[in-house]
A and B are shown apart, each in its own frame.
Chain A
Amino acid sequence: MDNVLIARSLFGTTMAFHIIFATIGVGLPLMILTAELIYQKTKNYEYVVMAKRWTKAFAVLLGVGIPTGTIAGVQLSLLWPGFMEVIGRVMPLPFQIEIYAFFIEALFMSIYVYAAERISPWLRVLSLILVALGALASAVLITNVHAFQGTPAGFRYENGQIVDIDPWAAFFNPGFAVTALHVAVSAYVVGAFIVASVSAFKMLRNEYGSRLYRFHQKALMISLVMGGIFSFLTAINGHAAAQYLHEYQPEKLAAAEGLFETQSHAPLAIGGFTDRETQEVKWGIEIPWALSFLAGNSFDTVVVGLNDFPEELWPPLFIHTLFNVMVFIGTFLILIALLGIAWKWILKKEQWPKFFLWILVLSGPLAIVAIECGWIFACTGRQPWVIYRILKTADAATSATNLGAISILFFSVYIILGIAVVSVLLYYFRKNTVLDDFERAENKGIPLYGSNS
Chain B
Amino acid sequence: MKRREFIRNGTGAGLAAWAAMLTGNLNSFFASAIPWQGGAYDLVAVKDGEPEAMFDKAIESLGGMGAFVGKGARVVVKPNIGWDVPPERAATTHPGLVRRIIQHCLQAGASQVHVFDNTCDKWNNCYTHSGIEQAVKDAGGTIVPGNAEGYYQEVQVPGGRRLKTTKVHELILESDVFINVPVLKHHSSADVSIAMKNLMGVVWDRGWWHRNDLHQCIADYCTHRKPDLNVVDGYRVMLKNGPRGVSVNDVVTLKTLIISTDIVAADAAAAKVFGKEPSDVPHIATAHEMGVGTMDLDKLNINRIKMQG
Do A and B share a complex? no
Chain B residues proximal to chain A, CB less than 8 Å:
none
